Chains A and B, each alone.
Chain A
Amino acid sequence: MSRYARRLDRDLARWREQGWISPDGEASIRRDVAGRTRSMELAPVLGILGAVLIGFGAMSFVAAHWNEMARLFRLAIILGGLFGAYGLAGFLFDRDHPAFAHAAILTGVALFGAGIMLIAQMFHISGHAPDAVLTWALGALGAGVVLRSNPALALAMLLMGLWGGWETGDSDRVYWPFLIGWGAVAAAMLWRGWIPGLHLAALALTVWTISLGYYLFHGHGHSIVIAIGLLIAAAGLAGPIIFGRWRTWGAVAYGMAIAFAGLFALQFIETAPLERLIWLAILSLALVVGGIWIGLRSSNGALLWLGYGGFSIEVLALYFKTIGTLLGSSLFFLSAGVIVILLAAAAYRLHSRAQPGLEPAP
């Protein structure tokens, strides 16, 4: 049962006892909810996890370089497994078990990667490893698009991230072609209308954007990261005003996380002079409190927890860094505490004026 369904279950019982809804109405609502919410079943999840395990098994099999078996035979096993996995996927689609079919597709894509590794080993190719990862990612993307398989697209996104990260680490520079690979997989996810996949894409782009700060301007590009993050958050806030619908909280959360990571790097990874550190700390706390405020206003759980998490990280990091002296730290925390409590009082006044007689929920 989803969180919404559990909560509704409690509320419905209460509303019926109060006599606000009839038993018939309650039954109708329950039927509607049961018909609309698709709770995650255990079996398909286990199917995907099994496919992941088989993929790692295949890669370890290649890495073991088992000499008892001729190389050609090992290649035949991998290729046979690849055709077998896709054939099984077709059979499962045919029998109307799409969830298991997608697990079989994922296995096929994993065996494609194991095949690439086996060939590299057979011919002692120690060439540029990220190229092999890119080939694998493109294979996963192709399978995801042609077979409309979300798990394959997720693997493609993970592999694109591995490729971009590897190239960046190898060259010690921003690796711009990553955006092309990322865009291709993200476009496929958008075309499928797959929300969890789009979050994965947003997460990959968030990490990449944060990494810009460590590579641009000889590793001092964090101000750019903060600007990009604030722009994304502002666009997320402006979106509903322009389009009239509140659906861009994700952009606000990702943008704020990017800006926070940039601020964090400026404060604790670079060496900031005392006065700048204090200003950056004030900005960070304002950003975090703003995030929590927007999260509460929009009842967006993710934004709220990101805000709480960011607040804890910021305060702990400041505590360990110490602002000038321990006495300085104490002064900063005390004044920040007083300001936040004043904000709390102001928020309470605003709230009780808007809804007299109601205590705000903690």
Chain B
Amino acid sequence: MMSAMTPSRRNMWIAIAAVALAQAAVLGWMIWQRAQLLSTGREIVLEVIPVDPRSLFQGDYVALGYDISRVPISEGAPPIGRGSVIYVTLQKAGELWHQLTSSTTKPENLPPDQVFIKGRVEYASTPTAAAPGQASVHYGIEDFFVPEGAGRELEKLVGQKKIDALITVDAAGNAGIKGLVADGKRVYEEPLL
């Protein structure tokens, strides 16, 4: 198929190099984007809420829940479908940040003690006269990966509500986990690489 040093042989090596470099570049771009978010994004601290008190530790990650994981929907609000984007505005109170409002459009001109975070609706119940509706929202900060078998201690701390999460948010509302905070001290702070 490829005899000695023909152009087709050179082309083959060029093609191989192009594919390998392109795939490595995609991986590098993912890392750069994430490192950018973690280093330049605004730091906020969210209280971690136990998702399932019996079994938080699933395999090799700890499931983290937040008060913004459940977003109330007021009566008369436009219906929100699964998979749609939602923006939640947070307000700083003491060390922690709490949910203030939510909208389907990007908030603008927020005061300095507020920040918005972008989420994806997993499930939404429609509000009725009897009960307000609620949306279950994911922000991409719900899984904290830990080394195999090292999650027990963390699970206990989360169960006792002693853990807060250090989150970075960029200008577009994308969020990432930067580390965990226990009793005001940073534990499990992740290096960039």
Contact = CB atoms under 8 A, between A and B. Distances in A.
Contacts of A71: 191, 193
A67 B147 CA distance: 6
A128 interface: yes
B145 A65 contact: yes
Interface string B175-193: 0110000000000001101
B1 A96 contact: yes
26 contacts: A63-B60, A64-B60, A64-B148, A71-B193, A82-B24, A83-B20, A86-B19, A87-B20, A96-B2, A112-B23, A112-B26, A115-B27, A116-B30, A119-B34, A121-B145, A122-B190, A124-B143, A125-B176, A126-B138, A135-B26, A139-B23, A143-B23, A146-B15, A146-B18, A171-B83, A173-B82
Interface in B129-169: 138, 140-148, 150
A65 B148 contact: yes
A221 interface: no
A72 interface: yes
A89 interface: yes
Interface residues of A, number: 44
Nearest to A171: B83
Interface of A: 63-67, 71-72, 75, 79, 82-83, 86-87, 89-90, 93-94, 96, 98, 105, 108-109, 112, 115-116, 119, 121-128, 135, 139, 142-143, 146-147, 170-173
Interface of A is mostly: helix
B27 to A, nearest CB: 5
B12 interface: yes
Contacts of A98: 1
Given A121-B145, A123-B176, A123-B190, A82 B23 contact: yes
B190 to A, nearest CB: 7
Given A119-B27, A119-B31, A108 B19 contact: yes
Interface in B1-20: 1-2, 9, 12-13, 15-20
Given A94-B2, A108-B20, A67 B81 contact: no
Interface of B is mostly: mixed
Contact of B19 (A67, A75, A143): A143
Nearest to B191: A71
A311 to B, nearest CB: 39
Given A86-B19, A86-B20, A93 B2 contact: yes
Given A65-B147, A142-B19, 17 more contacts: A65-B60, A66-B148, A67-B150, A79-B27, A94-B12, A108-B19, A112-B23, A112-B26, A123-B176, A124-B144, A124-B177, A139-B23, A142-B22, A142-B23, A147-B15, A171-B82, A173-B82
